[in-house]
Amino acid sequence: GICFVLNCFIWGKHSSGAVPFPTMVALLCMWFGISLPLVYLGYYFGFRKQPYDNPVRTNQIPRQIPEQRWYMNKFVG
């Protein structure tokens, strides 16, 4: 999106450095033609995989969480 908007500004100045519109469309088609199938392929194989087992035993008693320092507050930093 950002590249397209910046390229529109370059087109507006009639610069020779602008990427032609058919090239932008071809790049967009290649992006969706490659990434979209890979996303669904990863989803398919990831959904079929067995859940991950922890290799170590975890303690059922939760640990005490210490108080945060004043500079670690989300409103300060």
Q: Give domain status of residue 10, yes or no.
A: no
Q: Give domain status of residue 30, yes or no.
A: yes
Domain count, the chain: 1
| Statement: the pTM of the whole predicted model exceeds 0.75 | no
Q: Give domain status of residue 40, yes or no.
A: yes
Sign of CA dihedral 42, 43, 47, 51: positive
pLDDT at position 37, please?
Answer: 94
Range of the domain at 35: 20-49
Q: Give domain status of residue 70, yes or no.
A: no
* Exposed / middle / buried, residue 18 (Cβ in 10 Å: 0-12, 13-18, 19+): middle
pLDDT at position 77, please?
Answer: 60
Q: Give domain status of residue 28, yes or no.
A: yes
pLDDT tens digits, residue range 22-66?
998 898 899 899 999 999 999 999 999 998 887 888 788 888 888
Q: Give domain status of residue 43, yes or no.
A: yes
* Exposed / middle / buried, residue 19 (Cβ in 10 Å: 0-12, 13-18, 19+): middle
Inter-residue contact 74 to 68 (CB < 8 Å)? no
Residues 77, 70: Cα–Cα separation, whole Å: 10
